């Protein structure tokens, strides 16, 4: 959940709240529902496996449940091969695409097939929502932080908007090209994204709020090293046969990036000039509901 809460498209949703108190409430509810998702997913898979082992494997092939017959007709997602010709389904003769477990589970549980359609529609809606949020976050970050802040500081709002839209199309094409190569399963790629987000974004967010001594240089350095170590371990173990460290798989590569990010952010912040008093007071203010408004009012009064 660390990686999930640090993803840019989720962070953007928090910015739409009108106050600090409501932002905290929004974060709390989002983390609660994320917890429910990840807590119930293993149970979902376990029940599906129980059904397969109890009512499918070891049963006569001509007496299999109706859902097996239905899904075996859908594009080769489920295949039954009676290799030894004994008419009994063995585990090695049952080939199922793991991605259809989510869709077929309602029918396995005896619910109408319409429920499977609703699950599919919900999954598609969630995928589109996540994709457009990430595309907007990437395009706007490149347009504002790279183009406007580093390349053309005099660019008008209209020009920045045009650059953001162009970059949106470019990023979408690149993402589609990468996804088309199918570097791994969708679940593993999502786990990679969470690890990269945790390694690169989580530490600056936490220390930036809860440690007033955090500096911009420290946050940037922590992001670079945390993300770099996470990416190094992920790519090395996935594509270059690098041995696993302590037996940890690359979907959990943030376990190495996070501590590095904390240490680097702490050290670099201590080695650089501390933030101004006004900035430290601002950090204090955002820890208290509606505190930012009081801080701004105080600044205006001064």
Instruction: Pick the last residue of a domain from 164, 181, 198.
Output: 181
The tens digit of pLDDT for each residue in 187-212 reads 777 788 888 888 988 898 889 888 88
Residue 147 falls inside a structural domain: yes
Asked if 177 and 189 sit in the same domain, the reply is no
Residue pair 81/95 in contact (Cβ under 8 Å)? The answer is yes
Cβ atoms of residues 202 and 259 within 8 Å:
no
DSSP for 232-263, written as a single string? HHHHHHHHS-PPPSTT--GGGTHHHHHHHHHH
Q: Are 210 and 260 in contact (CB under 8 A)?
A: no
pLDDT attached to residue 184: 66
Rounded CA-CA distance 62/88 in Å is 9
Predicted confidence (pLDDT) at residue 31 exceeds the cutoff of 70: yes
Among candidate residues 89, 111, 133, the one where a domain is terminated:
111
Residue 196, domain member (yes or no): yes
pLDDT of residue 182: 73
Helix or strand holding residue 3 (H, E):
helix 2-5
Q: Let me know whether 174 and 244 are in one domain.
A: no
**Beta partners for residue 78, in sequence order:** 96
- Alpha helices by DSSP H, listed for 56-88, are 66-71
Q: For residue 298, tell me if it sits in a domain.
A: no
In a domain, 43, yes or no: no
Query: Does 27 map to a domain?
Result: no
d(CA 283, CA 287): 7
Which position has the higher pLDDT, 198 or 132? 198
Q: Specify the number of domains making up the chain.
A: 3
The answer on 200 and 271 residing in a single domain is yes
160 lies in some domain: yes
Structural domain contains residue 230: yes
Domain membership of residue 153 as a residue range: 115-181
Same domain, 196 and 145: no
How big is the CA angle at 249 (ends 245 and 254), to the nearest 5 degrees? 80
Q: Quick check: is 258 in a domain?
A: yes
């Amino acid at each position: 959940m660390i990686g999930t809460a640090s993803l840019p498209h989720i962070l953007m949703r928090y910015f739409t709240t009108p106050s600090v108190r409501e932002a905290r409430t929004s974060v709390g509810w989002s983390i609660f529902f994320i917890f429910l998702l990840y807590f119930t997913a293993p149970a979902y898979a376990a029940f599906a496996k129980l059904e397969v082992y109890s009512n499918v494997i070891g049963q006569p092939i001509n007496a299999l449940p109706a859902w097996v017959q239905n899904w075996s007709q859908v594009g080769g997602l489920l295949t039954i091969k009676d290799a030894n010709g004994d008419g009994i389904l063995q585990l090695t003769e049952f080939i199922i695409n793991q991605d259809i477990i989510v869709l077929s589970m309602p029918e396995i549980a005896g619910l109408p097939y319409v429920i499977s359609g609703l699950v599919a529609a919900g999954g598609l809606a969630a995928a589109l929502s996540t994709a457009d949020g990430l595309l907007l976050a990437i395009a706007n970050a490149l347009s504002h932080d790279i183009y406007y802040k580093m390349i053309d500081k005099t660019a008008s709002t209209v020009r920045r908007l045009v650059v953001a839209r162009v970059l949106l199309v470019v990023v979408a094409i690149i993402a589609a090209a990468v996804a088309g190569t199918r570097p791994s399963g969708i679940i593993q790629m999502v786990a990679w994204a969470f690890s990269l987000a945790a390694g690169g974004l989580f530490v600056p967010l936490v220390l930036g709020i809860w440690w007033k001594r955090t500096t911009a240089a420290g946050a940037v350095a922590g992001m670079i090293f945390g993300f770099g170590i996470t990416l190094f371990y992920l790519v090395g173990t996935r594509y270059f046969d690098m041995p696993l460290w302590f037996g940890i798989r690359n979907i959990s590569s943030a376990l190495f990036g996070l501590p590095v990010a904390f240490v680097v952010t702490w050290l670099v912040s201590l080695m650089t000039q501390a933030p101004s008093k006004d900035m430290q007071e601002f950090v204090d203010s955002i820890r208290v509901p509606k505190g930012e408004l009081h801080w701004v009012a105080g600044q205006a009064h001064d």
